[in-house]
A = this chain, B = another copy of it.
Amino acid sequence: MSTARTGDDRTRVVVLAHEKFPERAKTATGVLKYADYDVVAVLDRDNPGTSASDHRRDLPDVPVVASMDDAPEADALLIGISPIGGAFDETWRDDVRTAIEGGCDVIAGLHYFLTEDEEFAELADEHGVELNDVRKPHDDLTVAEGRSADVDADVVLTVGTDCSVGKMTVSLELVEAARERGIDAGFIPTGQTGIMIAGWGNPIDRVVSDFTAGAVEEMILEVGDDYDVLFVEGQGSITHPAYSAVTCGILHGAMADAMVLCHVDGREAIHGYEEFEIPPVSEYVDLYENLAAPVHEGSVVAGALNTSRVEGDDAAREAVESYSESLGAPATDPVRFDADEILDAVLEET
């Protein structure tokens, strides 16, 4: 784990997004929207001289420059795009070299590990900077000790009815909403994009299966005393034919005090596993709570419904209302509307 988190001296980051910014640069835009970093520039050789906010209204006013040579002083370069297959694009080599020579750490989520690139490894060594391949689990991971509940922060976990229902986004929206209320909220990333956004974290789906809970616990113990509330990014679903192991390990490793159940409106079967029906949401509440209880009692206190496919806010509100009733708890779509109702429910419980 590396690089800094929120504070008075936030890490200054340059985000590389050549030729794909913003629509094909999800990590870059995620970092701009949600990360703790002070993003000082976006690298896009197609759009020098513009601002990120020119390209999308919800992005901050950050200068877009053509190369690392034109970027302001920074602490780290973050690779904010990923070609199919996670390869390293050789047209980025000059920027990475310039960054390292200028004393920048480099953060990447590629399958191609920068630490195994001979030139970068030697150069990083020479300049005393860190190459952080976030997809590579570190070597000291081990089994959980069951100690996550000992930290000062309350722990909130996003859980889901399926994969790709918005658990990371909901977690990040809750962090933002809590911070807006002056609450010292932290984010525990568990997947590649979450880790890129946070700038640290363990890629839970890539660790040795015996260490699944332990890799979550390690993160919570590391920062849990520094925050009032931690929002842990969930993965998969406890009913998923392939990924439930990761979900279960996060559930028990996080020892969450409260859970937020995420769902996509209208989804009736597991994505990509269409013969597996998604059970009623009330069943998920029982499954998550009953499975959590022997390790740590935690309740599903609210729901987050992804209504991105619902046309019109009125219909979306109806969908949310119906979801809330099935769940027996407050619910909303925190992206379409805001996260207040979920946050209220979370704060009441914790």
Q: A239 near B: Cβ within 8 Å?
A: yes
A residues 174-216 touching B (CB-CB < 8 Å): 204-214
B residues in contact with A287, CB < 8 Å: 290-291, 294
B residues in contact with A247, CB < 8 Å: 248
Q: Is the CB of B276 within 8 A of A246?
A: no
Q: Is the CB of A249 within 8 A of B245?
A: yes
Given A291-B291, A295-B276: A242 touches B145 (CB 8 Å cut-off): yes
B residues in contact with A252, CB < 8 Å: 240-242, 244-245
Q: A43 near B: Cβ within 8 Å?
A: no
Given A205-B209, A208-B206: A242 touches B146 (CB 8 Å cut-off): yes
B residues in contact with A204, CB < 8 Å: 209
List 24 contacting pairs A-B, 8 Å CB cutoff, sorted by A: A143-B243, A145-B241, A146-B273, A146-B276, A206-B210, A208-B208, A208-B209, A209-B245, A209-B249, A210-B246, A213-B242, A213-B243, A213-B244, A239-B294, A239-B295, A241-B252, A247-B248, A248-B248, A276-B294, A276-B295, A279-B294, A287-B290, A290-B290, A291-B291
Which residues of A pack against B, CB within 8 Å?
A: 143-146, 204-214, 238-249, 251-252, 273, 275-277, 279, 283, 286-287, 290-291, 294-295
